[in-house]
Structure 1
Amino acid sequence: MNADAIIIGAGACGLMCAVQAGYLGKKVIVLEKSEKPGAKILISGGGRCNYTNQFASAEQFISANPHFIKSAFTQWTVDDTIGFFETYGITGKEKTLGQLFPDDKNAKDVVEVFTSVCEDFGQEIRCNADVKDIEILPEGFKVSYEKNDKTVVLTAEKLVITTGGLPIPKMGATDFALRFARKHNLKIIETAPALVPLTITGKDEEWFAQLSGNSVFCEVSNDEISFEENILFTHWGLSGPAILQISSFWRRGETINLNLLPHQDIVALLDEERKNNGKTLLSTLLNRIYTKKFTDALGKFLPLSKPVAALTKAEIDLIEQTIHRFKVKPAGDKGYDKAEVMRGGIDTNEISSKTLACKKIPNLFFGGECLDVTGWLGGYNFQWAWASGFVIAQNI
């Protein structure tokens, strides 16, 4: 045996697993298809890395089994994540909504923590290692990979697959874990892009495109859930934090609702303005709330040139509906190229929630994004990666 365990995938989960295994005196070899470890960590948060969220709990995750991650989150908490990084000189600074970023460091420093600790423990990270075959042996696993046109064979008693999901293929994302799972008759929950921009086509396309670059604070909702954050208009549709959040709950053909003024009542504002100065034009009032470009665009739906005092009840109802219940029916999404994570994955019923071991194949473990566990935007998916990496390390 070359090691106690072979870890396939040097992303957030695989790297944490390797470090935690090192703490326990276990020898692992990490195989990474890309040129360097932590590729997705490096681009997260625009290179700043939103590495956890202070409010992370099972409530912010989508899964066919919403209780599955509770055991892992009990074994490795947000405080554990904060303490771990503080040990290596990375202190968190909250941006918004509990999102923690390194205070005076960045994503490169986060990856450096893992690579340097792995080096201290003698854990090997082999990059440009393209795994071609996994053979299940009576005593463990034989993994064959190609590097520099040569085939290398490794054996270990335990095997860990943390190869992530399908998003951002240019960063090395593959369906490796899903293919392996299907080959061995493990159930897969249907996958789809999540935390992804939404596209608008047809008769509304031009209206959205003209607002490209404009950002508005909104409450975005569907029949299931709502989020309050900015939306961003683009030349192909909608993006921004609130849209990325709702995208994980959106299905093709559904309509979403935009409340363009979530903390105020537009009808109350109109009444107040009518009392103070009824000659004020609707456009003037809306320009106090939105950019002129956005107000002008609303002119497609609203009587902007009318004085507030002259608005009819039907017009006030139209204004109320447009501002607080603006309906959007996206045509689709921008796909895995632009998605931050994958929805769906290996069915968690195939995995032990306490150890993350595969129930059907002894000594095989799955962690991170390849499982049917999808977090909200804002550091939640990293918390799952760290927690699942820790749990696996305890059991390999």
Structure 2
Amino acid sequence: MDVDAIIIGAGACGLMCAVQAGFLGKRVILLEKGAKAGAKILISGGGRCNYTNLYSTDEQFISNNKHFVKSAFKQWSVSDTISFFETYGVFGKEKTLGQLFPDGKDARDIVAIFTGLCDELGQNLICKANVLDVVPIPDGFEVEYETNDVRNIITASKVVVATGGLPIPKMGATDFALKLARRYGLELTDTAPALVPLTITGKDEEWYAQLSGNTVFCEVSNDHISFEENLLFTHWGLSGPSILQISSFWRPGQTITINLLPHQDIAVIIEEERRSNGKILLSTLLSRFYTRKFTDAMGKFLPLDKQIANLTKVDIDSVHKILHEFTVKPAGDKGYDKAEVMRGGIDTDELSSKTLECKKIPGMFFGGECVDVTGWLGGYNFQWAWASGFVIAQHI
């Protein structure tokens, strides 16, 4: 087929690349292993699709090269994302912390924009296409793929690898990009689940399990960073936005610290309350801030049955440390089945930051999640996917 490029993977990056290439008059073949395009888009945000973040900058991304994303974000900004979707009838509504969701629409509408534009622009989207091999040939690449047990070989001068990362294997996630990169001698950074719940085992497992379903607004931190959002207790450990955020910065064996009462000082609250109502129990005081179930569970660590007037300095110091510096040492994480993204991937030193073209293999491009660029929770990873897709489209 006479096409300018073959794009492998019809996720956020691949779809944006195909559409933007079409706007430039370039023809592509888009190969998708799954039964339909945009499978991960469709489940994002519970099907609502948090498609960008108003406050997205290079600061919210993890990479061995923290400056790598700057060029892509200069070429395709948050404003560009917003304008693009508004052009096709999707207007954003901010939920919290800059998270932008389609107002009155959902993830299906996001995917429909891309599939509709691919049709209009004559871009050839082939689903259930399992790519078997990518081989450099003179003046381009040969891509072998299989559909319905039939093997096909197509060629183009450029190839784009946008096959995503390892999370959610039941949806078809594979290590295709990583294996291809290794095969051609490209360096990889260590990969691991990110934006993922953390597990608790051992003697404390039962204590966490009894709180399953309870949420607490808190500040979760380690030696590198902190996040203020809700924490969710589960029957196997900890989840919720704050935990997903810190998980990207957590490594096995490390501890995390949880401030269960941010922006307030429990020692000050106790002293103030003593002057007016010292006879109330510590449990009664804490029930102003937490659910009854959570307060009762804290009885393992705190003298809940003491009147606050009878709390000693040692008691108050203990209450302060427990509530403001609650330390947790997770046993592990829930793995790629529950992770939203993959941390690590193809080393950014292997790619041009301006074009995302592979330095060692001219004409081969990598974009999206398979690259060592991992965003925070809240639409940041979509912004990277859109931007990388746009950038690659300019150069294929």
Q: Same fold (TM over 0.5)?
A: yes
Partner of 2:327: 327
Matches within 5 A, 1:242-321: 242-321=242-321
Distance 2:260 2:120 in 1: 52
How far is the alpha carbon of 1:3 from its aligned partner?
A: 1.0
1:370 and 2:367 aligned:
no
Aligned to 1:336: 336
Q: CA deviation at 1:379?
A: 0.2
Q: Which residue of 2 aligns with 1:99?
A: 99
Q: How far apart are 1:2 and its partner, in Å?
A: 3.3
| 1:58 and 2:58 correspond | yes
CA distance in 2 between partners of 1:86 and 1:274 (Å): 56
**Alignment length (residue pairs):** 396
Tell me the TM-score normalised to structure 2 length.
1.00
Rounded Cα–Cα distance in structure 2 between residues aligned with 1:251 and 1:5:
39
Deviation at 1:134, TM superposition (A): 1.2
Query: Is residue 32 from structure 1 mapped to residue 23 from structure 2 by the alignment?
Result: no
Q: Deviations over 1:92-144 (max 9, x none)?
A: 00000000000110000000000001100010110000001111101101111
* 3-state SS, counterpart of residue 394 of structure 2: helix
Q: Which string of whole-angstrom CA distances, capped at 9 and with x for unpartnered residues, describes residues 284-338 of structure 1?
A: 0001110000000000000101000000111101100010000000000000000
Corresponding letter in the other structure for 2:390: F
TM-score by length of 1: 1.00
> Residues 71-110 of structure 1: matches in 2 within 5 Å?
71-110=71-110
- Secondary structure of 1:133 counterpart: strand
Contact 1:61 1:376 in 2 (8 A): yes
Contact 1:267 1:320 survives alignment (8 Å)? yes
Q: Which runs of 5+ in 1 are unaligned?
A: none
**Counterpart Cα distance in 2 of 1:395 and 1:149:** 33
Alignment RMSD, CA only? Answer: 0.5
For 1:227 and 1:308, how far apart are their aligned partners in 2? 31
Q: Which amino acid aligns with 2:246?
A: I
Partners of 1:2 and 1:154 within 8 A in 2: no
SS at match of 2:131: strand
Do 1:217 and 1:229's aligned partners in 2 also have CA atoms closer than 8 Å?
Answer: yes
The Cα shift of 1:153 comes to 1.1
Specify the code of the residue in structure 2 equivalent to 1:218.
Answer: C
Equivalent in the alignment of 2:70: 70
Q: Which sections of structure 2, spanning at least 5 residues, go unmatched? A: none
Encode CA deviations 1:224-277: one digit per residue, 9 max, x unaligned: 000000000000000000000000000000010000000111011101110110
What SS does the corresponding residue of 1:395 show, helix, strand or coil? coil
Task: Give the whole-Å Cα distance in 1 for the aligned partners of 2:355 and 2:290.
Answer: 51
Q: Report the equivalent of 2:150.
A: 150
Aligned to 2:117: 117
Q: Which runs of 4+ in 1 moved over 2 A?
A: none
Letter in 2 for 1:86: E
In the alignment, what sits opposite 1:353?
353
* Distance in structure 1 (CA, Å) of the matches to 2:358 and 2:65: 16
